[in-house]
Chains A and B, each alone.
Chain A
Amino acid sequence: MRTNGDYLLLIILAAIVAFIPRVVPLLYFTKRKIPAWFDEWMKYIPVALFTALIAKDVFVTSTYTFNVDSSAEIISTLLVFLIAARTKSMGVTVVAGLISILIFSYIL
């Protein structure tokens, strides 16, 4: 069982982990230019990471087995992709995704 102290430690460490990537480049690159290789490498990290996270949510269970009962999630995720591409709005996408998962997990 985790205590509030554990959570507080987690928050503080998470804040540090979240802060370093934000502040270091800002301090460094206000003095210098961004090297091209850094730019090129970083470019593919977000798309790979976000897809990996989505794949985990949809296809992997909490005990690390393949989730065979994920048709509602698959349909809703595809819908999310479509709506995100069309609207480019974070709010609309998330709300539509929630409505979709509510409907499809009820039907299927």
Chain B
Amino acid sequence: MNEVDEENQGWLAVFKIALPLCLSYIPIGLACGILLHSSGFNILLTGLASILVFSGGAQFLIASMLAIHAPLLQVLLMLLFLELRYALLSASLSPFMKKESLGFLVYFASSMNDENYAINYLKFATDKNWNGHKAVMVNHYSMLFWTVSNMIGSTIGNLIHFDVNIVNFTLTALFGYMMVMQVKNWLSIGVAALSGVLSVWLMIVLKSTMGLVIATLIASFVGFLIEHSLEGHKHAFLLRGLHLHRRKGQFTDVKETSDNHED
């Protein structure tokens, strides 16, 4: 029986699990490659960024910040804020990886992102045979599709001229998708609205993308404060629809958020 299971969980079985994600990376990777090309990256740099950074949001952000000639430090600061969410993802995967070696954890972390996390979290939570080795395979399949799509996009961008504003909307749509997946209750919609208004106002006042960082910090902090002040209120309308499993398990909220990432 074990032998059959082993057979079924081979590379092909893992590939089948990763395939929907890999396919959805193709259009996004192409668009990302086109954008990176338009902001000055050649095909090798695009490929390198896809492997080393391996984050759709981050690569789009790099492209759009380079397009407006933002200084290096500001790009990196924005990236840090964007990538901080990974802390939550990798923290929530950690209970499943307690037996893995230090080297493996470092190796695994380097290829983890939002989408393959969603698959791996679900598999770890539901499939007893799932392990770190298979999880890393999912990461690598998704990285392969992502990188190849980016490099093809870079080539297409080289051959055909695209309206950058149109292709740039891919980024907006991707952020829109990620935002909607984060909405769990009325309070999170309130935080989103506050952040949106604040960021536009602060960016125009400060004439800088720092407005974005400040707006994010203020809005998320306000959300955190409101949630705390509402704690214990039975009729907290703002929190309705969110805390179905509140405090029962520390990873439940994370799971609810991230399950939706799956295609």
Chain A interface residues (CB < 8 Å from chain B): 2, 4, 6-15, 17-19, 21-30, 33-34, 36, 38-60, 62, 64-66, 73, 76-77, 80-81, 84-85, 88-98, 101-102, 105
Rounded to whole angstroms, the CA-CA distance of A14 and B251 in the bound complex is: 28
Q: Is the CB–CB distance between B175 and A57 below 8 Å?
A: yes
Q: Is the CB–CB distance between B83 and A18 below 8 Å?
A: yes
Q: Is the CB–CB distance between A98 and B169 below 8 Å?
A: yes
Q: Is the CB–CB distance between A46 and B109 below 8 Å?
A: no
Q: Is the CB–CB distance between A60 and B204 below 8 Å?
A: yes
Query: Which residues of A lie under 8 Å from residue B199 when comparing CB positions?
Result: 51-52, 55-56
Shortest beta-carbon distance from A9 to chain B in Å: 8
Q: Is the CB–CB distance between A45 and B174 below 8 Å?
A: no
> What are 16 A-B contacts defined by CB distance under 8 Å?
A15-B53, A18-B58, A22-B86, A23-B109, A24-B87, A42-B88, A43-B88, A47-B182, A55-B196, A56-B199, A88-B262, A91-B263, A93-B173, A94-B170, A94-B173, A97-B173
Q: Is the CB–CB distance between A2 and B115 below 8 Å?
A: no
Query: Which residues of A lie under 8 Å from residue B24 when comparing CB positions?
Result: 89-91
Chain A residue nearest to B28 in the complex (CB): A94
Q: How large is the interface on B (under 10, 10 to 19, 20 to 34, 35 or more residues)?
A: 35 or more
Residue interface mask B154-191, A partner, CB < 8 A = 1: 00000000000111111111111111111100001001
Q: Is the CB–CB distance between A4 and B42 below 8 Å?
A: yes
Shortest beta-carbon distance from B19 to chain A in Å: 12
Q: Is the CB–CB distance between A62 and B253 below 8 Å?
A: no
B9 within 8 A of A: no
Chain B interface residues (CB < 8 Å from chain A): 23-24, 27-28, 31, 40-42, 45, 48-49, 52-55, 58, 61-62, 64, 66-68, 72, 75-76, 79-95, 97-98, 100, 102, 105-106, 108-110, 112, 115, 165-183, 188, 191-200, 203-204, 206-209, 212, 215-217, 219-221, 223-224, 227-228, 247, 250-251, 253-254, 257, 260-263
Q: Is the CB–CB distance between A47 and B188 below 8 Å?
A: yes
Q: Is the CB–CB distance between B108 and A26 below 8 Å?
A: yes
Query: Which residues of B lie under 8 Å from residue A91 when comparing CB positions?
Result: 23-24, 27-28, 263
Rounded to whole angstroms, the CA-CA distance of A62 and B176 in the bound complex is: 20
Q: Is the CB–CB distance between B75 and A26 below 8 Å?
A: no
Chain B residue nearest to A12 in the complex (CB): B52
Q: Is the CB–CB distance between B53 and A11 below 8 Å?
A: yes
Classify the interface of chain A: helix, strand, loop or mixed. helix
Query: Which residues of A lie under 8 Å from residue B178 when comparing CB positions?
Result: 46, 50
Provided the pairs A57-B168, A90-B24, A97-B176 are in contact, do residues A14 and B212 lie with their beta carbons within 8 angstroms?
Answer: no
Q: Is the CB–CB distance between A19 and B88 below 8 Å?
A: no
Q: Is the CB–CB distance between A102 and B200 below 8 Å?
A: no
Determine which of A4, A9, A47, A81 lies in contact with B191 in the assembled complex, contact meaning CB atoms within 8 Å.
Answer: A47
Query: Which residues of A lie under 8 Å from residue B204 when comparing CB positions?
Result: 60, 64-66
Chain B residue nearest to A97 in the complex (CB): B173
Q: Is the CB–CB distance between A33 and B90 below 8 Å?
A: no
Shortest beta-carbon distance from B70 to chain A in Å: 10
Shortest beta-carbon distance from A50 to chain B in Å: 4
